[in-house]
Structure 1
Amino acid sequence: MKPVRILLVSPVFHGYWNAMSTALERRGHQVTVHCYDAAGPFNQRLGNKLLHELPEKWRPVKVEQKLTDRALAALNAAGPDVVVLVKGDQLGPDWWQALDERRIPRVTWLYDELRRMRYTPEQLRNAGPIASYSRQDTESLTEQGIEARHVPLAFDDSVPVPRIREDHISFIGARYDSRENLLRELAASAVPVKAYGRTWSRHPFDVLRTRQFSSAGIPVGRDMARAEAYGVMQGSPATLNLHGDQDGFTMRTFEAAGVGALQILDRADVDSMYDVGDEVLVFESAEELVELCRRALLDGHWAQRIRMAGQRRTLEQHTFGHRIATLEELWG
């Protein structure tokens, strides 16, 4: 595809905008980035924190207008040929009207389910073409006559992975009751397991900000930058990927395999992207998970074979570069 000037409009969300920008630039495009929910001075950072702790559907209209005005200013300054929007349901009608008036090609990439966002049917039609990580949403949008394609999330292969030794089976993610109960079962079965994240952390600052005053009763660590999280997954005997009520597969699915970790998931439908048993592992019960973890701790040759195969598949099919190629087809 001929290189174009792109305005990438994205939430800050763990810096994935940087992975997308890098992938776009690798394909020859000139990229300007606008993070529409980036915080500024202290009062804005505090407001931003409160904003993100509210369910997205409940965020005030006044906030939406501020985010929209900032995005419009970025649009005016960049004068792009194409707009790549990530999520973007916090942007109001003025944003979509500006894109329509200027006839700017666009594509919107959704990494969350529509039921958790505040898009109206009219906005979804303006946002299209849509790339969604959710197969169910993709089917629903297509049935409504909206151009949509299932585009999974990806691995950011531009991040250097530090060498980190982790002797526990690792889990990195939010603390939910179902996850906590499962990790407790592992620990009770003498499987060394450690959970990372601010809702697990016992650091006083994290306890105060998350109001998680009770301990999970297992070893825990604080929230980490992505590079460090990559290193922990890679350096663990195995790393767990435990989903909640998501329809799509989280970024972790591709990151764990991409860094060469031995990934154990709770979803058999991952077989649409990886060979189960050869590239990733899947469990259906706590007892099966215990057995897989024990083997991971004891059988290094078996684990290494799966690690290498999962990493190879990821680098061949599941990087941000691969996803950008699909987005190009949609905006083209």
Structure 2
Amino acid sequence: MQNKKLNIAFFGSSLVSAYWNGAATYYRGIVRALHNRGHQVTFYEPDAYQRQENRDIPDPEYAKVVVYPATQEAVYQMLEDAASADVVVKASGVGVFDELLEAEVLKLQSQNCLVIFWDVDAPATLDRVENDPADPFRAHVPQYDLILTYGGGDPVINAYAKLVAKKCVPIYNALDTATHYPVAPEERFQCDLAFLGNRLPDREARVEQFFLDVATKLPEQQFIIGGSGWGDKPMSANVNYIGHVYTKEHNAFNCTPKAVLNISRESMARYGFSPATRVFEAAGASACIITDYWEGIDFFFEPETEILVAKDGAEVAELLQGLTPERAKAIGEAAYKKVLAQHTYGHRADELEQLLLTTPRTATAAPSSADAFVS
């Protein structure tokens, strides 16, 4: 089994579009790394939320992308298409018929097919299930052969253990060196501090505290905010809102400002050990990163030398006021060295491949597609 090349069916939000889809670059890095090891990935994504109209990339060479209509009939067709895979992954937050997919992929389990739930927003999933004893996902957790998560460390592992998961393993975000790297700065992204992130309910208050309030207090400094949904948000005159930033623009966005800001969503910060993909993207572009505090930062980067940490907006302002271009450059270069040495998707895929090859399969006879998928 150790040298087996796997046929992997992956149900996720989108591989080709990062529009309202923060997991896109995570998926790309993971899938590319699996492809580089000889595994074949088919990525099934629904035509939803205008993602196909806002693609960042064409269909990549490292995966077969199947875009299906956002209908129940199409979901069953995709499940039938995936029935011959060695590994089937259902990611959280597909956005269309999630409950249906979470139940139906389990019918593909067999001694030849590993079925995985990959939680790219474990804090939100776990909070939801904890607050609703009738949530149908609760009953599915023990049935999956493996739970993978975007991060979360022991708090997430222990929470899934309480739900009787067979095994839960975090596969952390990382740097995709093929897409994120240092480039020449661009004048349109010139500023003292830049933040990139979509407007989401459990992030908004923290963006106000760590970014918008800081801009108000430092009128002599320039700020840029990118991401979807901020257009009607009140901002001081020294903040430039630039809207959705396409993946191809991320390197210049990260390279150009004196510093870039990472702001975790409230749930991610509460669980800890959940660095956003953008932290590794920024480090891969040799950016000086200021991050809000969360437990586990030093598991990835050394505070003060490879990353700057702020517990509130006042500390962000203090860091900015004392940050010289020379120190910012040194911190960015140190982060770049660390991420290349320890935190690429190649490093993550080493662990992931072992899990895919060695995790026990559920030894039950697979139902025929005709029996399994009657819509």
Give the shorter-chain TM-score range: 0.7 to 0.9
Which stretch of the first structure deviates more once superposed, 265-274 or 115-124?
115-124
TM-fit CA distance, 1:125: 2.0
Distance 1:259 1:66 in 2: 43
Residue segments in structure 1 that go unaligned for 5+ positions in a row: 47-62, 202-211
Asked whether 1:139 is paired with 2:149, we answer no
TM-fit CA distance, 1:264: 0.3
Asked whether 1:22 is paired with 2:32, we answer yes
TM-fit CA distance, 1:268: 4.5
Does structure 2 retain, via aligned residues, the 8 Å contact 1:233–1:239?
A: yes
TM-fit CA distance, 1:172: 0.7
TM-fit CA distance, 1:159: 1.1
Distance 2:310 2:44 in 1: 40
TM-fit CA distance, 1:262: 0.6
TM-fit CA distance, 1:279: 0.9
Does structure 2 retain, via aligned residues, the 8 Å contact 1:8–1:32?
A: yes
Relative distance call for 1:152 and 1:18 in structure 2 (3 A) is closer
TM-fit CA distance, 1:329: 2.2
Per-residue deviation, residues 254-279 of structure 1 (Å, max 9, x unmatched): 22212211110011521121111111
> Could you say which residue in structure 2 is the equivalent of 1:208?
none
Relative distance call for 1:128 and 1:250 in structure 2 (3 A) is farther
Consecutive aligned runs of 4 or more in structure 1 exceeding 6 Å deviation: none
Distance 1:303 1:237 in 2: 6
Aligned residue among 264, 271, 275 for 2:298: 271
Relative distance call for 1:116 and 1:171 in structure 2 (3 A) is farther
User: Cα RMSD over matched residues?
Assistant: 2.8
Which stretch of the first structure deviates more once superposed, 115-124 or 139-148?
115-124
Aligned residue among 191, 197, 207 for 2:227: 197
Does structure 2 retain, via aligned residues, the 8 Å contact 1:128–1:148?
A: no
Distance 1:272 1:160 in 2: 21
What secondary structure, in the 3-state scheme, does the structure 1 residue paired with 2:207 have? helix
Per-residue deviation, residues 9-43 of structure 1 (Å, max 9, x unmatched): 322135333332211111121222222x3349x9x
Asked whether 1:251 is paired with 2:277, we answer yes
1:17-166 mapped onto 2 (5 Å cutoff): 17-35=27-45, 37-39=46-48, 65-66=72-73, 68-76=75-83, 79-87=84-92, 89-90=98-99, 91-97=101-107, 99-101=108-110, 103-113=112-122, 114=125, 115-116=127-128, 120-132=137-149, 133-135=151-153, 136-146=155-165, 147-159=167-179, 163-165=184-186, 166=189
> Could you say which residue in structure 2 is the equivalent of 1:235?
256
> Could you say which residue in structure 2 is the equivalent of 1:180?
208
Aligned residue among 217, 233, 240 for 1:219: 240
What secondary structure, in the 3-state scheme, does the structure 2 residue paired with 1:95 have? helix
What secondary structure, in the 3-state scheme, does the structure 2 residue paired with 1:294 have? helix
Distance 2:289 2:74 in 1: 38
Which stretch of the first structure deviates more once superposed, 177-186 or 221-230?
177-186
What secondary structure, in the 3-state scheme, does the structure 2 residue paired with 1:219 have? strand
Question: Which structure ranks higher in relative contact order (CA pairs < 8 Å, sequence separation ≥ 6)?
Answer: 2
> Could you say which residue in structure 1 is the equivalent of 2:369?
none
Distance 1:184 1:75 in 2: 46
Distance 1:173 1:284 in 2: 19
Distance 1:119 1:11 in 2: 20
Distance 1:86 1:304 in 2: 37
| Residue identity opposite 1:7 in structure 2 | A
TM-fit CA distance, 1:101: 4.5
Does structure 1 retain, via aligned residues, the 8 Å contact 2:8–2:39?
A: yes
> Could you say which residue in structure 1 is the equivalent of 2:58?
none
TM-fit CA distance, 1:288: 2.2
TM-fit CA distance, 1:72: 0.6
| Residue identity opposite 2:10 in structure 1 | L
Per-residue deviation, residues 111-162 of structure 1 (Å, max 9, x unmatched): 1022357662231122331122223221122244421112222222221555
TM-fit CA distance, 1:75: 0.3
Distance 1:125 1:106 in 2: 12
Between the two proteins, the alignment pairs up a number of residues equal to 297
Does structure 1 retain, via aligned residues, the 8 Å contact 2:293–2:309?
A: yes
| Residue identity opposite 1:134 in structure 2 | G
Does structure 2 retain, via aligned residues, the 8 Å contact 1:10–1:86?
A: yes
Distance 1:70 1:100 in 2: 17
Give the % identical residues.
22
Q: TM-score, normalised by structure 2?
A: 0.70
TM-fit CA distance, 1:110: 1.4
TM-fit CA distance, 1:221: 0.8
Does structure 2 retain, via aligned residues, the 8 Å contact 1:112–1:134?
A: no
> Could you say which residue in structure 1 is the equivalent of 2:371?
none
> Could you say which residue in structure 1 is the equivalent of 2:341?
316
Q: TM-score, normalised by structure 1?
A: 0.79
Does structure 2 retain, via aligned residues, the 8 Å contact 1:34–1:74?
A: no
Distance 1:116 1:319 in 2: 31
